[in-house]
Structure 1
Amino acid sequence: MQMPLIDENRYADAMRETVLPALAQCREEGWMSPAGVSDIDSANFTAQSGASQSISGDIGNPDAADSGNDADANSQTLNSASSDIANDANGTTHIGMGDAGIGISGGGIDTGSDEADEQRIMHSKFFGISSLAAPPMPGKLHYVCFDAHKFDALGVPGASAKFRGSIVFSFGFTEFAAKHAEMTWYFLLAGYSVCILEHRGHGYSVRDVGNPSLVWIDDWRRYVADLAKFAQTVGRQYAGDQPMHLYSHSMGGGIAAATLESFPMLFDRAVLSSPMIEPITGMPNSIAGPATALASAVGLSRRRAPGQTEFSPTMKLKGYEGAAQARVQWYFSLRRQDEHYQTNAATFGWVNQALRMSHAILRREACARIETPILLFQAGRDTWVHNGAQNRFVERVRVESGDVVLERVEPAVHEIFSMPNAVLGPYVDRIIDFYAESVDEMVAEEE
């Protein structure tokens, strides 16, 4: 399938005039209680298997004084008369926003111009006004979903008008749901509903540190358990009787790999784009691991790791050389406007857990549990994750269990989706074709 791409030369206009208004018509927002992993130790976590396994329940909040509690969250009312709120048995609060009229409170955002005001309003329509008009739900994980049936009803040119299932989205370190509007647009055009969970400590999800620039986690398995619960509940609901796929990037790709090892039957197909099988830390990881473990042990877990900086309103192009500047500028405009999108620095605790996750992912017995067909994209000019670790992962999955394809995008930087259309086009088309193969397989089995 050849996907019609957004014109780079009028990127911001196309996003404001075409993409975001359409996405607003099929967007739904919700909050989910984090999954419970406190009773699962690192030795047996990846021994869990099968889509029939259910992850549910609340996780103990490491910083309850900052985050609040579920009782407060459930009693919180949202400033939207059109919202239809329902709590399901999995602790999920779902809000159907539709195309209702929206009123915006300032929220402390200094837009500086009418154009910026208009852009902020459009972003809020896209991702749920309640988040901007009221604080996040204490103790909850935030998610945004886009219904392919509602999208198809809009009659958008180029849409497939054929429902193909859902795609669960696992994004990267310091990212947020709003950043991935363009990829969401392409997936909807192809006939897929899209479900984006904002990982703990990111976007409007619960945080465990007060500084909005910092990212901290006490146990990487929380990420995996949360993603699995989200897929089993929200993602599966949007898939209906069609396939449920996984799309992931960077840190989200590492989380995705670990999830595929722990829940081999959960997804029909998975794309790992520049996955963080092993992060680049600025020093040999054989040193970084023990050093960050020691720092965490002596009470520095929530402190900013060396070389990490807090968010700055001045855009820097390091790591984006060769990317489409219109896309990069768009991403940064979102970060500049909303404090919730300004995570920027890893803590000692996060680095240590990222390295622990890497070690767990690469274990041969873990790789042997993967049954989901995988398409792994490797960026030829990646400076954030180790390509060698991706190669080892692919080799071990092939030897131990099976179906994985590695495709190297030689000119691409880490965020392949930020590249110019000449690179982005084949990347998107390959992903759509890869997912479509599962539909063909389903038809063949029925025949």
Structure 2
Amino acid sequence: MSPTRALDVLNILLSDVRYGLGAYLGVYLLTEHQWDAGEIGVALSIGGLAGLLAQTPIGLMVDAIRAKRALLAGAVLVVMASCLVIPLAPHFWPVVLAGVIGGLAGTSIAPTLAAISLGMVGPGAFARRACRNEAFFHAGNGAVNLLILVTAPFLGTPVLFWVMALTGLASAAAALAIPARSIDHAVARGLLPGASGVAPRQGWQVLLGSRPLLAFAVTGALFHMANGSMLALVAQKLALQNIGWGVALTAICAIAAQSVMVPTAALAGARAEVWGRRPLLLAAFLALALRGVLYTASDHPAWLVGVQLLDGVGAGLIGALFPVVIADLTRGTGHFAAAQGAVGTVHGLGGVVSGALSGLFVVRYGYDAAFLALAAIAGLGAALFWLTMPETRPRPLEEELAHDHSAA
């Protein structure tokens, strides 16, 4: 198998492992063990916070370590194990502990995968490769959710954990199948081809030293604050209104989003070098705000699933372009993963707040109020992004040389 094909397979298989059980965990705890929305939000937020605190040091480690394939395989296995222990002890503190362990391991998956990809193709082809990764990831996610949809009515919720075990083991094997010689480790950390050495800097120094990185961090945090719990809230709402069909309806929602994310990521890969990153990212914010408002228009399952298609636009664009923007802004510095960790920490804080905030809104004011609050946050993020975030697409080399010559 060629290195490119092995990377494609890895992205497909990671679709069920990269974020753990996701929205399914909330449905499982709600329907099988009678947790309320507030308990679910707080428990999952604690695990997310642990991962956040580790993002920046893990990013520094990813930049420094050469054994990136082994790091990725090990992280996948730990995430898998942390999910598989939950049915054995579905109580608050055991679930929190499993979430903390899984969150710490899962934090390393995205920056390591991005670094491997950058090291394989170089900075010039990275935008297309990163979006290709995201397209394969969403295609795999859709396939996994379709499998759950078909089997859950007959096998029940245990199918979630069987699928997690299978994809986890296969993902670890796929990571190790990528030939080590196909990765340029200097390029993988954000250095230009042929460069060697780099001045050591802490992840937060990388972030605080760049105004565009700061703008991307803050506006992205608002995006994730609005987006982080939307699918989980829709899944809970559908599960409460359709007793016995919670897992199946959650799968349908996920499939709806993934069916749009695949072409969205492909579009981003094809047009990011032509249109630039900025208009595509602004479209992601606007789609998210619209989605939150539309959820309140009807409680019918068909409507809720239809609105979920917009998740494919918002999350699809952000997911595909996040590593691309970071690579643009850290090109030649050698701090690619460290910057991912620092910016990802700020983004993740938004996601953690989203879970706790939406859970409290649901308990006090209901689901519609929670959706409108999240939509307002997305609208604020869109406005700030428009005002503060520059275009990050690198200029062609000829243009840069002409600019340098005129400046001289």
TM-score over 0.5 for the alignment? Answer: no
Give the TM-score normalised by structure 1. Answer: 0.25
The structure with the largest strand share of the pair is 1
- Greater per-residue helix proportion: 2
Q: Which has the higher contact order (CA 8 A, sep 6+)?
A: 2
